[in-house]
Amino acid sequence: MPDPTEQTKTSVLFVCLGNICRSPLAEGIFTQLVEQRGLSDRFHIDSCGTGGWHVGKGPDPRSVLVASKNGLDISHLRARQFDASSDPHMYDWLIVMDRSNHADLIDMGSPEHKVRLMRSYDLSLDGDHDVPDPYYGGDDGFDKVYEMLTRACEGMLDSITAQA
């Protein structure tokens, strides 16, 4: 969690269902982009899930594999559940992977102006704003999700830094 006294950093929380597939990948990708641009001192980045099934567990091995194939190490991340009493106040941006996650956060009382769909930052968007959950699909679904998240993370970082 970000330090509430640290007002100079932009805090970003990536949210999916269980915090083992999409949101840890988004956290890793966004962190790498921030580091590549020399902006690490300007961001606090985290991820979580709306459900608590996987709390304390590492990312899905297929997420770890696709991240590794692309030069990222997300194996150290641990799943946590969204905390409706503190997360909406502690983070500037609540970036959700799909419309279901969006509805869940709004239902839990998150301010609508902080909740954004991940793919709303994808400039090549084909119309569907959801990042599909690859959990029950084949390994190629993780590659496709990685590509979607990379485009969206790049657009998101461009958008945030342009506003600053």
Q: Encoding tokens for residue 150?
A: 């990379």
Catalytic, out of 60, 104, 122, 133: 133
Catalytic, out of 22, 80, 116, 119: 22
Q: Encoding tokens for residue 163?
A: 């506003």
Q: Encoding tokens for residue 105?
A: 């956060």
Can you point out the beta strands (E) in 35-154? 43-49, 93-96, 115-117
> Would residue 22 show up in a list of annotated catalytic residues for this protein?
yes
**3, exposed or middle or buried, with CB in 10 Å at 0-12, 13-18, 19+?**
exposed
> Would residue 62 show up in a list of annotated catalytic residues for this protein?
no
> Would residue 153 show up in a list of annotated catalytic residues for this protein?
no
The candidate with the shortest Cα–Cα distance to 78, out of 123, 151, 27, 44, is 27
Chain centroid to CA 147 = 14
Any idea which residues carry the catalytic annotation? 16, 22, 133
